[in-house]
Structure 1
Amino acid sequence: MKIRQIEVFLAVAETGGVRRAANRLCITQSAVAKAISQLEAELGCPLFDRSALGLRLNEAGQSLLPYAESIASNATRAAAAVAACATGRVTSLRLAITPTLPEEVLSAAVQRFRLRFPAVKLIFSSGFFSDCLPKILTDRLDLALVMAGRHQHEELTSLVEEPLCALTQGVVAGKGHPVLAPDSDLKTLFSKAEWLTTVQDEVFLIRRLHDFGVTAPRCLTLCDYYTVDALNGTSGALSLSPLCVVDDPRYANRHLEALDPRRFPLPPLTVSFFRQKGVELSPTADYMRFSICDAFKEWFEKRHRRFVQPL
């Protein structure tokens, strides 16, 4: 089975005819017919139903299709990666990774990436939504893995999104906070508490509190960094956060707990790869994306994750 045969197979499957496939590939019709005949002979069965209307994939052809697409895609990426290394065009990879990505996932992904691209310099910058968006739009990032809420997605309509996972969003507080008691009066405690949230989430939080019956929080502190970090030493404060932080080893010494999300339901947050429409990832960026996805899958399958759901 040769790459050229696979490319011809895909062209015929997509166009439905030998002539149209030949035009797409800029080769002769006889070359297309020969490639398909050789592929069918090698696999030992026809791949198309032939009629006066053209060629249509049969059951065997349908079973081959996803594998053929994968082979063609990997062949293109492999050629691009070799060409980039041979010409010395790729020397660095600019990354922005959300701090909600578990440390061990990023570490495993980087180790895997280094085995393939040991000479590429990795440049990490802030992975917060407000910092990433202008950089993505102005092509100052090669790969961005960003956490965003549904209320922020209007700003992302000009981008291509590839979701990695969904995170339960809710209220985080220090251990023993009155709000965590099963029978606590949430409306009263919410109205009296100091709230910590990011600048871009201020309007969202106020609206959700209003819908819950809290006219306005007594005290609101806005941060341009991860709000759960501000809980350290802030007695009695509540943070609007992804609830997975309470299980994150990086915050083990903070003694954080999550309010039962059923008591104050909020839409989930999405962690996704974003890029500009019409802009393809470079071979190095694409391999890092693949490495992160693979490492995340392994991390998730190790044990139950209360507030994380793969997408």
Structure 2
Amino acid sequence: MTDATEDRPWLDLELEDDFDEELEQEIDDARIPAELRALLGKRQKATIDRGVYFRELLRLQSELVKLQDWVSHKGLKLVVLFEGRDSAGKGGVIKRITQRVNPRSCRVVALPAPNDREKTQWYFQRYVPHLPAAGEIVLFDRSWYNRAGVERVMGFASEQQVEEFFRDVPEFERMLVRSGVVLVKYWFSITDEEQQFRFLMRIHDPIKQWKLSPMDLQSRVRWEQYTKAKEAMFERTNIPEAPWTIVEGNDKKLARLNCIAHLLSVIPYGEVPHEPVVLPERVFNPDYERATLPRELYVPDVYGPKAR
């Protein structure tokens, strides 16, 4: 039997390989453990055609590359905060934003719980070193708003500390904006039922169990407390200089497309002029002989034609 790829144009294969990364994630999203199939009928079905989703995602991702180029060219500083309910889809959107951009100037910050030393610092101090320099984009996968959410609900911060946070955070964010930072804040919202389903997915799927922490389980118990904390956070921190934008997250695909489209609309960007790239000719040295390396240095060919 011959390999089906042997007779296909190399450009088609290259493009297919480029798309496969998203396809792999799509397959992962579709894996439903048998224990949960009975609940599928209660879930809202996808509201966008799969083909349309892929086309729009790739189009938006190409625009993100242009946006990053513009940010670098103009020396802008972009900070995007991703907050919301556990399992609301923040990670999936961040993954799609970073999937095709240059990681050298677009990075994700996901800080662990503060250590003993950090607990004695000014609250915002641990976040400041991660803010962008000119030409950079920083995506915070959770941010200083931990104090208004998990720390408040779980009792890790006193009411006095929470009140100080609410007094300080508007001025802190105004300072960032005055310094030239473009600050975008997203809240990902899902229903109680959808969060329950996604948590059960994580419980029954070994590949996803690492996503489920004891704190996540407590968020189910304290759903109403988190709701009250979210409402207070919006009321106290939705300022004109840095307003909140809510992303409806029940439909993952729509949430990804809508969030990326909104992010692209925040900063007017254009094409950056570049000199044409020309591949130089390879220099050949007639006296050079490539050394033959020992076979044991190579990764075993488990799946290639030599393994057949």
TM range (shorter): under 0.3
More helix by share: 2
Larger RCO (CA under 8 A, 6+ residues apart) = 2
TM-score scaled by length of structure 2:
0.25
More strand by share: 1
TM-score scaled by length of structure 1:
0.25
